[in-house]
Amino acid sequence: MATGDTTHGTTSSTDVALRENESEYGVAVTASGRRSVAKMYEPDRPNGPFGAVQLARLDEALTLASRETGLDYSVYLGELGEDSRATAEKLHESIGEGATNAVLVAVSPGERRIEIVTGAQAFERLPDRGAKLAVASMVASFKEGDLVGGLVNALRMLSDQAGPAPKH
């Protein structure tokens, strides 16, 4: 067929392929005859005990607690070992220079252990009594099977106990 010629009554293989795939969503046949298929992208699911919504709740609680108090809050979820306090203190130290102004909530559901570690500056604003109240709240929620709810409520309680960030 010469350039500019028109065909009447003939059907190319590409036209047939296009018509066959018209009912298939996301399928196209290119001019070269290659079949191109669009597929939905599904990201990997989070690998852990929390879903995306639960992680968002926890992240929001951490952000708000830190913003309101000026303290740096962290949550550790995992095994703490036989000496849970020593492990939690090592985790807190691993924060680095900001550890003096940080609060770590370490929870080991399998071992049924909760540790709250505060740095020197954080302790001045968040005494043991406030931490004990947060632990009692977490225990109550954990008994009901609400791990995220317990952590979120504890962070709120800790930030309420610490009060607003000091103005300089």
Of the ranges 5-14, 42-51, 125-134, 139-148, which one carries the lowest mean pLDDT score? 5-14
Whether residue 1 is predicted with pLDDT greater than 50 in this model: the reply is no
For tokens 């109550």, what's the residue?
140
Closest listed residue to residue 133, CA positions, set 119, 106, 154: 154
The pair phi, psi for residue 36, each rounded to 5°, is -110, 125
Q: What's 101's DSSP letter? A: G
CA angle (100, 109, 143) in 5-degree steps: 110
pTM over 0.85: no
Q: pLDDT tens digits for 16-54?
A: 544 454 556 778 888 888 888 887 777 776 677 788 899
